Amino acid sequence: MSRRRGPSGTRRPGRTAIRRGVLAGAALVALGLGAVSPAAAQSVNRNLIDRLNVQLLYVALPLTLFVEVILVYAVIRFRNNDDPEPTAENPTLEVTWTVATAIVLVFVGWSAYNVLASPYISPTPEAEAAQPEVNPDVRVDVLAYRWGWQFTYPDANVTTQNLLVLPRGEDVRLSLRANRVIHSLFVPKLGLKQDVFPGHDTTLLTRALENGRYRGYCTEFCGDGHARMRAAVFVVDPETYRQWLAAHADERLVTAPPSGNVSANGSGAANLTAPSNATAPPNATVPPNATAPPNATVPPNATAPPNATAPPTGTLA
Ligand SMILES: [Cu+2]
């Protein structure tokens, strides 16, 4: 490696070394961009999230590379400078980096806002009104209990146990409620995540785009059965969905998914039944929208929390 000395006695890095560094950086960026190109998403929700991720990465990677190159250059260029001088003011440079930072932040804010304002991410009445083409025909009431999921299709009077079946290509509104403690429904492949509270409904809006079996979890620690709190989510053709619904009309605690038409998507297609749960739902007959039903069938082992505010009996006169 050839080295030359600068006027102040500092060594300059060889041009070959700099060129190699820049080439290596460019290769890394190309590799990164290639690796993050999103595959076809399984739902509209997931599509929105993945696209935002990639958009932000397109900005973040060149910036990271730029900063790293300057850092490495400065370390090499000034490594033998025993008598460093402070840099004089440079208004042009300061204005440039302030404006550049502002542009980047505005871009990030605008990209994120566009996703957050979508009714599939923030299912508010205002967001839905802004997109009249969003028209959820299918309604599902979700009850999260310790420890399992109950899905009710009110129009068909069907209730399932740890099993959610969705018609492909149709908007579905999920109305979620918990009966005692906070849970959270998470279906990663469909880009769905929503906290579930007692006494307060939350909503998810989705349109699944690919047939398959997906996994759903509770992601809010809710007691010692938390790890069992899983659900199987099936996305099937609309005809299959309606046949399945008709076949189970007026049934409760259905665990049999639609047969056929579920292409494997690598997430455990061998096990085509909803995860079995040792405990039956405590409030199987209470619709999720009922207001705070007392849970009459709590297992006797469940201990009520001690009442910390009760005065000790010894101090009472
Ligand atoms: Cu839970």
Query: What's the CATH number where 262 sits?
Result: 2.60.40.420
- What share of residues in the chain are helix, strand, coil (percent, to 5)? 35, 20, 45
At 27, is the secondary structure helix, strand, or coil? helix
91-116 vs 44-77: helix crossing angle, rounded to 10: 160
Residues 34, 179 within the same domain: no
Please give the distance, rounded to the nearest whole angstrom, from the Cα atom of residue 317 to the centre of ligand 1: 44
Domain-located, residue 233: yes
| Nearest residue to 288 (alpha-carbon basis) of 163, 176, 181 | 176
Domain-located, residue 186: yes
Domain-located, residue 30: yes
At 158, is the secondary structure helix, strand, or coil? strand
Residues 210, 104 within the same domain: no
Enumerate the β-bridge partners of residue 151: 142, 160
Residues 18, 147 within the same domain: no
Q: Which amino acid is at 34?
A: G
Residues 44, 14 within the same domain: yes
pLDDT in tens, 134-178: 889 899 999 999 999 999 999 999 999 999 999 999 999 999 999
Residues 170, 232 within the same domain: yes
pTM: 0.70
Please give the distance, rounded to the nearest whole angstrom, from the Cα atom of residue 228 to the centre of ligand 1: 9
Please give the distance, rounded to the nearest whole angstrom, from the Cα atom of residue 227 to the centre of ligand 1: 8
> Which are the contacts of 138, defined by CB distance < 8 A and separation ≥ 6?
153, 166, 167, 170, 171, 172, 173
Query: Sign (positive/negative) of CA torsion 289, 292, 297, 302?
Result: positive
Domain-located, residue 225: yes
Domain-located, residue 55: yes
Residues spanned by the domain of 9:
4-80+94-116
Please give the distance, rounded to the nearest whole angstrom, from the Cα atom of residue 231 to the centre of ligand 1: 11
Please give the distance, rounded to the nearest whole angstrom, from the Cα atom of residue 175 to the centre of ligand 1: 16
pLDDT of residue 164: 97
Please give the distance, rounded to the nearest whole angstrom, from the Cα atom of residue 193 to the centre of ligand 1: 13
Domain-located, residue 314: no
DSSP 102-152: HHHHHHHHHHHHHHHTSTTTS--HHHHHH-TT----EEEEEEEETTEEEEE
Please give the distance, rounded to the nearest whole angstrom, from the Cα atom of residue 198 to the centre of ligand 1: 12
pLDDT greater than 80 at residue 294: no
Q: Are 38 and 51 in contact (CB under 8 A)?
A: yes
pLDDT greater than 90 at residue 121: yes
Please give the distance, rounded to the nearest whole angstrom, from the Cα atom of residue 119 to the centre of ligand 1: 25
Please give the distance, rounded to the nearest whole angstrom, from the Cα atom of residue 224 to the centre of ligand 1: 10
Residues 274, 202 within the same domain: yes
Torsion angle in degrees (nearest 10) through CA of 242, 248, 254, 260:
-50
Of 36-40, 152-156, 197-201, 288-292, give the lowest mean pLDDT range.
288-292
Give the integer Cα–Cα distance in Å for 57 and 138.
35
DSSP 159-197: EEESEEEEETTSEEEEEEEESSS-EEEEEGGGTEEEEEB
* Tally of CA atoms within 13 A in the half-sphere of 237 that contains its CB: 8
Residues less than 5 Å from ion ligand 1, measured at CB = 183, 218, 222, 229
Please give the distance, rounded to the nearest whole angstrom, from the Cα atom of residue 117 to the centre of ligand 1: 28
The 8-class DSSP code of residue 155 comes to T
Query: What is the arithmetic mean of pLDDT over 48-74?
Result: 94
At 17, is the secondary structure helix, strand, or coil? helix
Residues 289, 160 within the same domain: yes
Please give the distance, rounded to the nearest whole angstrom, from the Cα atom of residue 147 to the centre of ligand 1: 6
* Mean pLDDT score of the chain: 79
Please give the distance, rounded to the nearest whole angstrom, from the Cα atom of residue 217 to the centre of ligand 1: 8
Residues 272, 239 within the same domain: yes
Residues 156, 216 within the same domain: yes
Domain-located, residue 54: yes
pLDDT band at 82 (very low <50, low <70, confident <90, very high): confident
pLDDT in tens, 187-203: 999 999 999 999 999 99
pLDDT of residue 155: 92
Give the integer Cα–Cα distance in Å for 131 and 114.
13
| Nearest residue to 58 (alpha-carbon basis) of 111, 13, 10, 98 | 111
Token representation of residue 245 = 């619904």
pLDDT greater than 90 at residue 9: no
Residues 176, 281 within the same domain: yes
Please give the distance, rounded to the nearest whole angstrom, from the Cα atom of residue 256 to the centre of ligand 1: 22
pLDDT greater than 60 at residue 297: no
Give the integer Cα–Cα distance in Å for 211 and 220.
27
pLDDT greater than 60 at residue 288: no
Q: Which amino acid is at 220?
A: E
pLDDT in tens, 245-278: 999 999 999 999 998 655 544 343 334 455 555 4
pLDDT of residue 31: 59
Please give the distance, rounded to the nearest whole angstrom, from the Cα atom of residue 310 to the centre of ligand 1: 29
Token representation of residue 199 = 């006494």
Domain-located, residue 125: no
Please give the distance, rounded to the nearest whole angstrom, from the Cα atom of residue 196 to the centre of ligand 1: 9
Please give the distance, rounded to the nearest whole angstrom, from the Cα atom of residue 161 to the centre of ligand 1: 14
Query: What is the arithmetic mean of pLDDT over 33-55?
Result: 81
Please give the distance, rounded to the nearest whole angstrom, from the Cα atom of residue 203 to the centre of ligand 1: 17
pLDDT greater than 90 at residue 295: no
Please give the distance, rounded to the nearest whole angstrom, from the Cα atom of residue 160 to the centre of ligand 1: 17
Residues 207, 278 within the same domain: yes
Residues 241, 154 within the same domain: yes
Please give the distance, rounded to the nearest whole angstrom, from the Cα atom of residue 226 to the centre of ligand 1: 5
The number of folded domains in the chain is: 2
Please give the distance, rounded to the nearest whole angstrom, from the Cα atom of residue 184 to the centre of ligand 1: 6
Give the integer Cα–Cα distance in Å for 75 and 65.
15
